Amino acid sequence: MHLSHQADNLRTDELLINMGPQHPSTHGVLRIIITTDGEIVKAAHPEIGYLHRCKEKHSENVDWMAVAPFVDRMDYLASMNNSMGYAIAVEKLMGVEVPRRAEYIRVIISELQRIASHQMAFGTYGLDIGAFTPFMHAFRDREKILDIFEAISGARLLYNYMWIGGTYRDITPEIVKQIKEYCAYFAGQISQYNELLSYNKIFVERTANVGIMDRELCWSYGLTGPMLRGAGMKWDLRKDEPYSIYSEVDFDVPVGKGEMGTLGDSWDRYMVRMREMEESLKIVNQLIDGIPDGPHRGRVAKKIRVPKGEVFSRTECPRGELGFYIISDGSEIPYRIKVKSPCFLNISTLDEVTRGLMVADLVATVGSLDIVLGEVDR
């Protein structure tokens, strides 16, 4: 009997693999149920909800100020951007004017937070692929940003700094100096990151042409942020629908170009993040010298009452557009706060994108999504 004939008679089964919830490369507690045929992924079903903490329901029972600490805990790697989005939404509903000084501080801080978040994405993506050193570099530099944030707000990870109407505390000249020193230091680090990981041929071979998301797929799933920009679409809320003082600063929107493979592959998404760090640094450098004098918080009552009405507001977070849909019935506590989370949409593409890939490439794709499960489940 021929060998090929024998192989035809062999009974083959699909194998069900549980990846996670406790898995080092699922970025939190994500469980992916993978149906595999050999090493090919037939279907990948992300199972979410392990980190569900009822944030939206909880917000309906605390007053407007007390929602901010909960909002911080959604995307715990970008707390500042989250609470800034919430503060902007409530301010829109209240019609409060934020002082110029507060706007400057907010934008500087949220751009630093974007750098810190992307450093984390860079480090853990390397870790997923199998490169350990970039992670140590990223964490060494992220630590310095956390030190700045600790000096500003008093906390290292969950700051509760962006308050409705302004900021929690004022920024001191020492902190301005610290931020300037950091900008000067970090400008030289990005090229090191690129030498370490971005242009490493092994890394490129692992990520280029893997997990391709073209523009149509991004649109149909409603993806935003580095996903959409990685697919070559120039869409950034800071540029296209400017909030705060983003209309006054000069920066570029980096997009994926398909340099190493196909447009919209994992490498493109990764590289968009690396280039965004440079742009964020550019924004901080432009604003840090011109912080105007004045109060750091607008005229807001101690007990906030928001007029009756509803509002939807969205801001550009490191992971995409974070939307807040807020309904107020005019009382001291919110009636409803619905969060439109970018990570939830990112993770929903997983099945379509990874079908037909190898299991190891699925890890590379999940890493390039840069999801935070705290925000997916809320």
Q: How many CB atoms lie within 10 A of CB 14?
A: 12
Q: Which of 14, 37, 39, 195 is in the footprint of another protein by CB under 8 A? A: 195
Residue 171 found at the interface with another protein (CB under 8 A): no
Asked if residue 199 binds another protein (CB under 8 A), the reply is yes
Question: For the sheet containing 336-340, what is the strand order?
Answer: 309-317, 320-328, 336-340
- Partners of residue 40 on adjacent β-strands: 37, 358
If one asks whether residue 133 binds another protein (CB under 8 A), the answer comes out as: yes
137 binds another protein (CB under 8 A): yes
**Contact between 259 and another protein (CB under 8 A)?**
no
Stretch that binds another protein, among 13-21, 188-196, 310-318, 354-362 (CB under 8 A): 188-196
Instruction: Report the C-alpha gap between 154 and 161 in whole angstroms.
Output: 9
- C-alpha span between 127 and 23 (Å, rounded): 12
| 143 binds another protein, rule: CB under 8 A | yes
For 172, the token pair is 């001191």
Report the distance separating Cα 210 and Cα 1, nearest Å. Answer: 40
Distance between CA atoms of residues 76 and 24, nearest Å: 18
Instruction: Return the residue of 49, 154, 292, 356 that touches another protein, per CB under 8 A.
Output: 154
- In this chain, which of 81, 119, 124, 160 binds another protein, going by CB under 8 A? 160
- Give, as one character, the DSSP assignment of residue 200: -
Return the number of the residue (204 or 217) whose C-beta is nearest another protein. Answer: 204
Q: Which residues pair with 326 in a beta bridge?
A: 311, 337
If you search the block for the tokens 């190898």, which residue do you land on?
358
Contact 257/263 with Cβ under 8 angstroms? yes
Residue 172 or 220 having the CB closest to another protein: 172
3-class DSSP assignment, residue 17? strand
Residues numbered 297-356 forming contacts with another protein, rule: CB under 8 A = 302
Question: Rule CB under 8 A: which of 61-90 touch another protein?
Answer: 62-63, 65-70
Among 15, 184, 187, 202, binds another protein (CB under 8 A): 202
- Rank residues 141 and 276 by Cβ distance to another protein and give the closer one: 141
How many residues sit close enough to another protein to count as binding (CB under 8 A)? 32
176 binds another protein (CB under 8 A): no
d(CA 44, CA 364): 14
Contact pick of 169, 180, 336, 355 for another protein (by CB under 8 A): 169
Q: How far apart are CA 166 and CA 314, in angstroms?
A: 18
Q: Give me the amino acid identity at 315.
A: T
Shortest Å distance, C-beta 202 to another protein:
6
- In angstroms, the CA 72 to CA 372 distance is 13
Helix H or strand E encompassing 356: none
Q: Quote the least distance from Cβ 122 to another protein, whole Å.
A: 14
Kindly tell me which residue out of 47, 50, 100, 200 binds another protein, with binding defined by CB under 8 A.
200
Choice between 66 and 217, CB closer to another protein: 66
Nearer CB in complex with another protein: 52/140: 140
**Residues 125, 326: Cα–Cα separation, whole Å:** 34
Binding site for another protein (CB under 8 A): 62-63, 65-70, 133, 137, 140, 143, 147, 150-151, 153-155, 158, 160, 168-169, 192, 195-197, 199-202, 205, 302
